[in-house]
A and B are shown apart, each in its own frame.
Chain A
Amino acid sequence: MAITTGSRAASRTRRPLTLDSIVRGALVGLFVVLMVVFILGPLLWLGVRAFAGNWTFPNLLPDDWTLRWWQVVVNDGALGVAVQNSLFFAPLTVLVSAIICLPAAYAFARFDFPGRRFFLISLFATNAFPKMGLFVTLAALFYALNLMNSVLGILVVHVLGTVVFMTWIPAAAFAAVPRNLEEAARDAGASKLRVFASVTLPMALPGIIVAAVMSFLASFDEAQGTYLVGAPAFMTMPTQMYSLVLNYPTQVAAVFSILLAIPSVALMLVAHKHILGGQLAEGFQIK
């Protein structure tokens, strides 16, 4: 890798600076600047707002700075409850989803059984149907089963959103563990369980971590289904955002946004190496 980039850099310096290359460089530069504004602009614009007092229109920065809005959020009971609800549902969702899906992921990777392919694809049903439509259809059943405005109902909605992550990504990770490594451990006298615990699981762990992180975030960010099934009895942070935007000053919503983004960013930073490393992309190709 280092060698190839090195030689490329060398060949680049040898090439004379032509008008063509300058134009091309300028276009790439312009594209990068546009992308920075497009991607980061809205986030920075929102972030500044959380500390803003007054803000006169065409100015690019607020007139004065304040921490007042943070106090409003901390002192507001409803917002606190939403934070609690979110922190309750997200870990629970990951746990339930892992119990249901991880054995299946292993089975998909290691066993050949009738209907395997059909099963793998029918998991995709959760993603093949647009979410909002799915929740509307789910609502009829929830009314009949009395699951509307219940913890179990919300949990079902959240777990449904994680099934694809929790099955496909770990399945790809389990499948990537070389079988002969497991066989070697078996030959050395390790029991099946021992092989799984000390060879298979550690090697598949990055994939499982990515799946857990994606599931946590899916639950933490889930808004539409929770709103339809749980509101107003159970408000989580994202559903609280809906009413926040309408009923509070923009700065309060900005503060709340930052709070809501902290867990996502923290978890993503933990797992981003594996996500960029292809664990996510690998999981989405049915094999």
Chain B
Amino acid sequence: MTTTLQKPAELQQTVPPAGATRPKRLGQRAVGFFMALPPILLIALFVGFPIVLAFGFSIGLTGGLNHTIATIGQNVHEADAWWGTLAAYQEMFTNKRFLGDLLVTVIVTLVSTATVIFLALGIGLYLKLKGGRMARLLSGLAIVPLFIPVVIASWAILTFYSGTGFLRSVFALFGLDFPVWAFTMVTVIIGSVWTSLPFSVLMISSGLQSVPNAMIEAARDAGAGSLRTIVSVIVPMAAVPIIIATTFTAIGIIGSFTVPYFTGPNSPNMLGVDMSNYFSAFNQPQQSAVMAFTVFLIASGIAALYVWANFRSAKEQGKV
């Protein structure tokens, strides 16, 4: 409904100023197309193509460009039908270690993403509704991890929560025993939250800032309490940046390697670590590829949400 109503606005926007003639526009379109092409080609060649290739490898198509890796790798299932074989998938999906890692990966992603968005929303709302020095301090603090390479962050977090770490030292001074969180999933979650926080805070607080104050005051004048105003006015109006923050955070965490590699246990650990182990240490690239496609499948569900959110916002602005 709304789209049809907004079509005229879209037409007005794209109709060129009176001076532009048809052939010139065509030329401009070609120029634009070719200027935009290089990064697309780069991604097609080094993201799209390898994904197709690796998918073929994962179902046992070991010819062509996959020949080298199939020769180097061990435990490679070769195709027994023209379309390939599901043997590698079958192997992995009956592998207890993989299933455990998959579960851990999903749980860490859910818990960390929820925590990040909750914190970012809290900080963003505090900044929007209260303001002042405390709020600025808080948001400034949340940006700090952006300054720190992930490798360092992971290692710093590991030592902080280790057996001789800060928390255990403080508790020991009072004669209390604090649990060792290093090399458990707790530090993996802490590390994931720590490293993902800045992006979400930037996205969400910028989204919340652009909610007009007049709307908030109108809701309040109509008798809505603080909570009601937040839930049914502010958050829905900033929905798109919130969804973008959520999807980027979730995708970042589900594929993360450094944080779980440094701070997590040997097993079960997140799939990023396991993928790298199967690839390098165990030299089983096909099994590694199966893991990659399992993660891709989950991530593409999340990514679809992102694309949908962007289209929705473009529609609202009458651009589609």
- Among the 9-residue stretches A13-21, A71-79, A113-121, the one with 4 or more Cβ atoms under 8 Å from chain B is A113-121
Chain B CB within 8 A of A70 CB:
no
Closest to A134 in B: B47
Closest to B164 in A: A57
User: Are B36 and A116 interface neighbours, CB within 8 A?
Assistant: yes
CB distance from A168 to the nearest CB of B (A): 10
User: Are A127 and B241 interface neighbours, CB within 8 A?
Assistant: no
In the complex, which residues 136-164 of chain B have their Cβ closer than 8 Å to any Cβ of chain A? 137-138, 141-153, 155-157, 159-160, 164
Chain B CB within 8 A of A128 CB:
yes
Closest to A145 in B: B65
Chain B CB within 8 A of A261 CB:
yes
Contact partners of B157 in chain A: CB under 8 A: 42
Q: In the complex, what distance in Å separates the CA atom of A101 from the CA atom of B41? A: 11
Contact partners of A220 in chain B: CB under 8 A: 149
User: Are B151 and A130 interface neighbours, CB within 8 A?
Assistant: no
- Among the 9-residue stretches B1-9, B85-93, B95-103, B200-208, the one with 4 or more Cβ atoms under 8 Å from chain A is B200-208
User: Are B255 and A132 interface neighbours, CB within 8 A?
Assistant: yes
Chain A CB within 8 A of B14 CB:
yes
CB distance from A117 to the nearest CB of B (A): 8
Closest to A275 in B: B202
Beyond A130-B251, A245-B155, whether A38 also contacts B32 by CB under 8 A is no
Contact partners of B36 in chain A: CB under 8 A: 103-104, 107-108, 111, 113, 116, 119
Task: Select the residue from A58, A223, A281 with max chain B CB neighbours within 10 A.
Answer: A281
Q: Is the interface of B mostly helix, strand, loop or mixed?
A: helix
User: Are B141 and A125 interface neighbours, CB within 8 A?
Assistant: no
Tally of chain B residues near chain A (CB < 8 A): 107
Give me the interface of A with B, judged by CB distance under 8 Å.
Answer: 5, 8, 28, 31-32, 35-36, 38-43, 45-46, 49, 55, 57-60, 100-101, 103-104, 106-108, 110-116, 119, 121-134, 136-141, 143-144, 156, 159-160, 163, 166-167, 217, 220-221, 223-224, 227-228, 238, 241-242, 245, 250, 253, 257, 260-261, 264-265, 268, 272, 275-276, 278, 280-282, 284-287
| A–B Cβ pairs within 8 angstroms, 30 of them | A42-B194, A45-B156, A45-B166, A46-B156, A58-B169, A60-B169, A60-B173, A100-B39, A104-B38, A107-B36, A111-B32, A116-B32, A121-B307, A122-B40, A123-B43, A129-B300, A131-B272, A133-B293, A134-B50, A134-B255, A136-B275, A136-B289, A137-B53, A137-B54, A143-B72, A144-B66, A238-B151, A272-B143, A275-B146, A287-B314
* Apart from A122-B48, A281-B206, 4 more pairs, CB < 8 Å: A57-B172, A136-B54, A139-B279, A160-B46
Give me the interface of B with A, judged by CB distance under 8 Å.
Answer: 14, 28-33, 35-40, 42-44, 46-51, 53-54, 57, 65-69, 72, 126, 131-132, 134, 137-138, 141-153, 155-157, 159-160, 164-166, 168-170, 172-173, 190, 194, 197, 199, 202-203, 206-207, 240-241, 244, 248, 251, 254-258, 261-262, 271-272, 275-276, 279-280, 285, 288-289, 291-293, 295-296, 299-300, 303, 306-307, 310, 313-314, 317, 319
